[in-house]
Amino acid sequence: MSESKYPRFCPIAMAASLLEPRWTMLVLSEMWCGSTRFNEIQRGVPGMSPGLLSKRLKEMEANGLIVRRGAGPGAHAEYFTTPVADELEDLINALGEWAHRNIDCEVSLQDLDARMLMWKIRTKMDLLQLPKRKSVIQFILDEPEGGKSNYWIVSKPGEEADLCYVDPKFDVDLYIVGDLRALTAAWMGHSSFEREIANGNITLTGHELMARTLTKWLVRSSYADTTIQTNPKALADT
């Protein structure tokens, strides 16, 4: 049998043929988080080129995992998962929990992506815990390769938070300054915000109440509370 072909009679092989193409599960996960437009999905998977995302969306539509709607004149096309894809949500989340429990955090923190992290933070924020007015939070992050990156999250009552990559020219309520690795570790649950702040890896300056209630509105990853194995290096060499 050719090594390039799976045995089609095997259900696991058939499932793999739909889900193994690179980025497919990440695209589905981003859509389950509420992203429906092309640009929104791409912001959630920033390492994926627009051309590859377009190709993958077409493949996923042909395979019955998503549907495309509203592509008429002047309308923005939107993509939605199908009931067939939605059956996979718990399975894919369980796969993420397995990886979080078993793969050494030093491995998972090797390839950091500030844009993806900030988009995920923006998606998970509990806006009801912020002041009942426009709030602006600036993140100033030290990148592993040197230099700093800046991001602004703008929250307005009754609206989704907006993530800005350039200065929106609003007065900033709270500055969060720190190391990208420390922020990622705290958000993913490999560490905690309290620990990273106590160690000086993250500092908060500005609105006192927003700083004090950080862990209420800056909601961590859904995997953060997953119990990690006592031997976290179990799969580090695989």
Which CATH number belongs to the domain containing residue 173 in this structure?
3.30.1050.10
In this prediction, residue 168 carries a pLDDT of 96
Residue pair 137/153 in contact (Cβ under 8 Å)? The answer is yes
Same domain, 80 and 44: yes
Structural domain span for residue 18: 11-87
Q: What is the CATH number of the domain that holds 32?
A: 1.10.10.10
For residues 80 and 115, state if they share a domain.
no
Tokens of 149: 């990156």
Q: Which helix (H) or strand (E) holds 173?
A: none
The region of weakest confidence among 6-20, 48-62, 132-146 is 6-20
175 - beta bridge partners? 138, 205
- At residue 21 the predicted structure's pLDDT band, cuts being 50, 70 and 90, is confident
133 and 200 inside one domain: yes
Instruction: For residue 38, tell me if it sits in a domain.
Output: yes
| Per-residue tokens: 19 | 């889900």
Count the domains in the chain. Answer: 2
Q: What CA dihedral angle connects 54, 56, 59 and 64, to 10 degrees?
A: -100
Contact by Cβ (8 Å): 176, 204: yes
Report in angstroms the alpha-carbon separations of 209 from 174, 194, 217: 10, 16, 11
- What digits encode the pLDDT tens for the residues 188-238? 988 999 999 999 999 999 999 999 999 999 999 988 887 655 444 443 443
Q: Is residue 28 part of a domain?
A: yes
Q: Which of 22-36, 69-83, 84-98 has the lowest mean pLDDT?
A: 69-83
**Is the full-model pTM beyond 0.85?**
no
What is the predicted pLDDT for the residue at 28? Answer: 96
Whole-angstrom distance, CA of residue 50 vs CA of residue 41:
10
